[in-house]
Chain A
Amino acid sequence: MNYGPLLFFGIFLTIASSWCGLVLIPQLQFGGQQAVKLESGEQYPPVRPGGAQRGEAVYRANGCIYCHSQQVRAAEFGADIKRNWGTRRTVALDYIRDKPVMLGTMRTGPDLSNIGVRNPSRSWQLTHLFNPQSTSAGSVMPPFGFLFETRKAGQRPAPDALQLPAPFNPPPGFEVVPTQAANDLVDYLLSLKANVPLPEAK
């Protein structure tokens, strides 16, 4: 094969075809999807409040996606629903407000599509983030101590100081308080709810 232009043509054609197929057609098919109005009158998916939006950036910056997926597979495919990770499979509509969409490809840790439904306790989430061993012994999740501040306790403990169990608690006279970033991240986690029934998620 000696004819350069033929080669160029073939090379161009093959990538053009897959670009049309895997990029352009999905964009035309569901790239323009809009939020819907539920029977209750609310919008779905709801706009994330400011704290949760900042928390999404914390989640992204610290690479949570490398261990946690955000997708629930259908009941007949995998054990996602049996594991109580969701009541229905997730669909394209669930993600239209995500920046970026962090579906994830790995489940070193559990799926987080519905973590806001499954474990809505703010103090549990904060304690777990500060040191996962304190709530889930044997976990391989890294501690996120850098999102917290260990400081000298005042006369009265701060209202948001963590209640840590024995070996994880700070030295006497000190307390652990979450920073803005930790609170934002928990806001984001608690906003993760894909449990609204949708007709397409049957």
Chain B
Amino acid sequence: MANTPERDAVTDAVTGTATTGHEWDGIRELNTPLPKWWLWTFYATIAFAALWVVLYPAIPVTGATGLLGYTARGAADQDRAAQAAAAEPMLARLRAAEPAQIVANAELRAHAIAGGRVAFANTCAGCHGAGGQGAPGFPSLADDDWLWGGKLAEVEQSIRHGIRAPDDDASRTSLMPRFQADGMLTAAQVNDVAEHVLSLSGRATDAAAASRGAGVFAENCASCHGERGAGNREMGAPNLGDQVWLYGGEKAQLIRSIAFGRGGVMPAWEKRLDAATIRMLTVYIHSLGGTEAAAQ
């Protein structure tokens, strides 16, 4: 082959290898041939892909699962079943132990808090907020103010049977009447009793109205909330003298609560969650810091 100028343009003088014709600052890109085994490796990956298409689901048609019958959903179900089986011994121990016993045992407590955190995010956080911080109308589970009792057994009872849950006969039930809407109190009386309630936490603005409201309170409210407004957990009646307000502590919010009543509903979870999950939820809520010791 004659050493023509064309050939020099495409062949690298040092290596004798053809160049691609690309040149950067006088440096030419060599067109080094690939080794044959590289080509065969490439063919092997094609063969692997073909085998894969036959063995595993690759065609987007329902029922085309491949010869092995593998489905991602089936594999996930198997994984979940395996995990459930692996968790079962611990869940059985949690079911068998009272919440107080779980709390007293570091190992059980750690498992219950970890599992309870997940269950809480799934089922409770929608209303009570992540971390149980609560929202207007949905009580905080991290504070020390409990409508129906903050001992572990009481918390568990609330989770199992709910609050005013229509489908559970054991549900905790009470009703804050609609004092003005149902004509029991006039607007002026509602205003007076609201001023009185404000005075219970030291915030009265109108002393005359507050003292007029004391009488209205004694007649209409004290039966549930107590003479001094300290609340009654039997009735789920909140303490009106503390700093925690479920529906807001401003006067306008108090008037609305008195005039039109309140009655939040929580589902009875016993029918939807298994006993171990309810135990774990109870212990998780305990870990938020607001629950009360059984001795109190």
A binds B: no
Chain A contacts to B: CB under 8 angstroms: none
Chain B contacts to A: CB under 8 angstroms: none
